[in-house]
Chain A
């Protein structure tokens, strides 16, 4: 079983086998490392790739961030921060794949982004844009498993359905690893900052998150709420429990939870419309 885990890990390490990474990323990294470069320069660089810019603007205008009508990359960089835009550049190709191959998972991720945004605003947790981004990306490991291990992926779905176990349990059984760990490896190989990596890698094990436990706890709660609401399809049907570590870390109470649920349910109508719009644009 460990062999399988190593095999999965090697596939992630070999970034060449992954969906194309935009070459712009390297240049963007150089620019952002240089303290003299300006947002305008970085924005100009990203804008030079029209497809990439369009993808990013679409994500930025998704209900996950709660901004509306962000029409330029430089605005996106100012509103969301360079780190977030950089992470969106990195993940946009995977997100694109998710949109076309795993619609349910895509909706689940968008919904989690929205939930995370609502939770962090409600609890006044800083860096809500980073948290929304982490929530958008939290199941990115599932996409990799789906594209790289198609045969196993079919088996996974079968096992999950038949034995009514969680996707993590099934993944561990079959691959020796799970989507959270795989997502963490991917985040690492992309040099995503820890504040995005930890929520991706530990959204099922909040207590293991060391430096960004609050962000991880928000993403975990967002994941549970979206599963509870039945919005989208994460690959499994059952709602996991809210982990006590997350509940404690966020200082939550039932009253707050109720306010969050109410706000989220209203917002999800918008997310559904957004998703339908995007699907319609694929058909055209």
Chain B
């Protein structure tokens, strides 16, 4: 799944997560997971102040986006100095799963 700015959402994308109001994240969802977006629905969500939506796959490539391999290599490099610490290893693993998920790869869990 990929979380994208709502301005880049287009019809036929499928919501991978419920859309909730940012000022009331614990409230009822405005739109449920699995819903196929239409342009009027996107407009309505935009008007309600929604800034981002999470959709299935990785449909949007934004300038500067890098491939999954590049992201994973950069992650490993960032953790180079602390790779021997168990807690930091777990943290790196969390970010590895985040990258995989954001790129639409199989859900890591």
The residues of B that contact A270 with a CB separation of less than 8 Å are 22, 51-52
Chain A residue with the shortest CB-CB distance to B77: A237
Q: Are A266 and B94 in contact (CB under 8 A)?
A: no
Interface size on B, residues (CB 8 A): 27
With most chain A CB atoms within 10 A of its CB, the pick from B5, B80, B87, B91 is B91
A270–B3 CA distance with the chains assembled, in angstroms: 10
The residues of B that contact A266 with a CB separation of less than 8 Å are 3, 52, 54
The residues of B that contact A254 with a CB separation of less than 8 Å are 87, 90
A68–B23 CA distance with the chains assembled, in angstroms: 7
The residues of A that contact B37 with a CB separation of less than 8 Å are none
B68 proximal to A (CB < 8 A): no
- Shortest beta-carbon distance, A192 to chain B, in Å? 29
- Shortest beta-carbon distance, B67 to chain A, in Å? 14
Categorize the interface residue count of chain A: 20 to 34
The residues of A that contact B85 with a CB separation of less than 8 Å are 241
B30 proximal to A (CB < 8 A): no
- Shortest beta-carbon distance, A76 to chain B, in Å? 16
Chain B residue with the shortest CB-CB distance to A261: B94
Q: Are A265 and B102 in contact (CB under 8 A)?
A: yes
For chain A, residues 206 to 252, give those with C-beta under 8 angstroms from any C-beta of chain B.
225, 227-230, 237-242, 247
A65–B50 CA distance with the chains assembled, in angstroms: 17
A238–B3 CA distance with the chains assembled, in angstroms: 26
Find A240's partner among B22, B49, B82, B95 (CB 8 Å cutoff): B82
A273–B4 CA distance with the chains assembled, in angstroms: 10
A257 proximal to B (CB < 8 A): yes
The residues of A that contact B94 with a CB separation of less than 8 Å are 257-258, 261-262
A228–B89 CA distance with the chains assembled, in angstroms: 11
Q: Are B52 and A230 in contact (CB under 8 A)?
A: no
The residues of A that contact B23 with a CB separation of less than 8 Å are 67-68
* Inter-chain contact total with CB atoms closer than 8 Å: 71
Find B81's partner among A66, A69, A238, A265 (CB 8 Å cutoff): A238
Q: Are B22 and A68 in contact (CB under 8 A)?
A: yes
A240–B52 CA distance with the chains assembled, in angstroms: 30
B10 proximal to A (CB < 8 A): no
Find B98's partner among A68, A262, A273 (CB 8 Å cutoff): A262
B88 proximal to A (CB < 8 A): yes
A164–B80 CA distance with the chains assembled, in angstroms: 10
The residues of A that contact B54 with a CB separation of less than 8 Å are 266
Find B78's partner among A66, A238, A247 (CB 8 Å cutoff): A238
Q: Are A257 and B77 in contact (CB under 8 A)?
A: no
Q: Are A241 and B88 in contact (CB under 8 A)?
A: yes
A254–B97 CA distance with the chains assembled, in angstroms: 14
Q: Are B22 and A239 in contact (CB under 8 A)?
A: no
Find B79's partner among A68, A228, A269 (CB 8 Å cutoff): A228
Find B95's partner among A237, A238, A261 (CB 8 Å cutoff): A261
Q: A227-B78, A242-B88, A269-B3 are in contact. List 11 more A-B contacts (CB 8 A).
A: A68-B23, A68-B49, A238-B78, A238-B79, A239-B88, A239-B91, A240-B81, A241-B88, A257-B90, A269-B52, A270-B22
Cross-chain pairs A/B with CB under 8 angstroms, 26 sampled: A67-B23, A68-B49, A69-B49, A164-B80, A225-B91, A228-B79, A228-B91, A228-B95, A229-B95, A230-B75, A230-B78, A237-B77, A238-B79, A238-B82, A239-B91, A241-B87, A242-B88, A247-B87, A254-B90, A257-B94, A261-B94, A265-B3, A266-B3, A266-B52, A269-B52, A270-B52
